[in-house]
Amino acid sequence: MGQEINRRDFLRPGSGRVAIPQAPTIITAKSVKSVVISSPNGHYYKNGGPVTAIEKAFALISAGADVLDSILAGVNIVELDPEEDSVGYGGLPNADGVVQLDSSCMHGPKKQAGAVAALEGVRTPSLVAKAVMGNTDHHLLVGEGAQGFARRMGFNIEKDLNTEHSRKLWLEWKRRIDPSHYLDPAKRTEAMQRATREMIAEGLVSRRHLYGTINCDAIGPKGDLCGATTTSGLAWKIPGRVGDSPIFGAGLYVAGGVGAAGSTGRGEANLYSLCSCLIAENLRRGMHPKDAGMDALKRIRVATVEKRLRKTNGDPNFNVSFYIINAAGEYAGVALYGEDDEEKGWAGQKEGRLVRFSVCTENDPRTLACEPLLSGTPAE
């Protein structure tokens, strides 16, 4: 018979006997410092109240509110402000003078998302997007279907979301392109672009508002990542045009436990490359938010091959910005160009030509310069 051993010797490491698995090591998730990041208008508009969007969101997150609910409460301030003519109520209308709104939201921990596009009559499309997320098995509703859904969910449907200001600008634009004649496509495009350039040069509208949008992303102390994007879209667009804002992976993408990204600028360029999804996957591979965003901007640059979209040196003649945060609370704002070709900025302020983003942390809210990929401006 073999040598008898007692139970203690049998379990002793190095005895050469059957190993008994050790209890798993419990890794407790480290707390994360809350961060809210947004496009610059997230820290310019207050709709007559005491705080901006990022301040509101950060305060609610700090008080223990759901991160997405906090973000939406913040962006609602911008959507409802009639002075912000690129988002929500008073947003610059389409070519027929109708305000059509797009929005999306994503909840990282719940793995849920909702969006609306070409929505008319509702001042806060971000809340309708949330209703799509919470009350349907779908991710995206558009046009009349989105409006009908909003009505059934109890949202007030207004006949017209134009303000006196947005309607006045549309009438001026319409007058300049000679609406009494149907031009051939080339001449019509030329007339539209000329009218827009003239109105920018005369200070009637800011170039930044032509593609204006608010994107806001945040992380809470438990590591919960969420985001939302909302916009009135490209000013004077073809009715029914939908940009990148309500499209997941383009205008917004949130990967729970990884990071979040959103954008402003030329939506078509972002749609083609689905850059927010690319950024999230870069974060998943361990890239810093700045590097992840720069990689997406490089993809846009390479994909821009049409002559009408390029400067004489071959670079894009438009701008795109990304606002990025990872699961560690690190963040970055990046843009194709770090400067714009006009001084006038958000809220009518003469803020200089720097392209910016906004962020709120325990160190208070502030607006910072975006890191550029290219030198110069979209026009230079």
Q: Report the CATH number at residue 145.
A: 3.60.20.30
Question: Residue 4: pLDDT above 60?
Answer: no
Residue 106 domain-assigned (yes or no): yes
Tell me the CA end-to-end span of the chain in Å, nearest whole number.
92
Question: Residue 201: pLDDT above 70?
Answer: no
Question: Residue 183: pLDDT above 60?
Answer: no
Residue 7 domain-assigned (yes or no): no
Domain count, the chain: 1
Residue 379 domain-assigned (yes or no): no
Number of other CB atoms surrounding residue 69 within 10 Å: 16
Residue 380 domain-assigned (yes or no): no
Cα 59 from chain centroid (whole Å): 20
Question: Residue 8: pLDDT above 60?
Answer: no
What integer best gives the mean pLDDT of the chain? Answer: 88
Question: Residue 72: pLDDT above 60?
Answer: yes
pLDDT tens profile 34-46: 999 999 999 999 9
214-219 vs 35-38, strand pairing mode: antiparallel
Residue 371 DSSP label = E
Q: Is 320 helix (H, G, I), strand (E, B) or coil?
A: strand
Q: Which domain holds residue 168?
A: 35-374
pLDDT tens profile 102-143: 999 999 999 999 999 999 999 999 999 999 999 999 999 999
Q: Is 0.75 surpassed by the pTM of this model?
A: yes
Residue 25 domain-assigned (yes or no): no
Owner of token pair 């083609």:
272
Question: Residue 185: pLDDT above 80?
Answer: no
Residue 29 domain-assigned (yes or no): no
Rounded-to-integer distance, Cα 211 and Cα 231, Å: 9
> Span 56-82, mean pLDDT?
98
Question: Residue 299: pLDDT above 70?
Answer: yes
Residue 155 domain-assigned (yes or no): yes
For residue 213, indicate whether it is catalytic.
yes
What is the percentage of the chain residues whose pLDDT exceeds 90? 73
Determine whether 375 is exposed, middle or buried from the number of CB atoms within 10 Å of its CB (0-12, 13-18, 19+).
Answer: exposed
Residue 5 domain-assigned (yes or no): no
Lowest mean pLDDT among 132-146, 161-175, 342-356: 342-356
pLDDT of residue 9: 53
pLDDT bracket for residue 342 (50, 70, 90):
low
pLDDT bracket for residue 21 (50, 70, 90):
very low
Lowest mean pLDDT among 134-138, 197-201, 364-368: 197-201
Q: Which of 52, 124, 213, 264 is the catalytic position?
A: 213
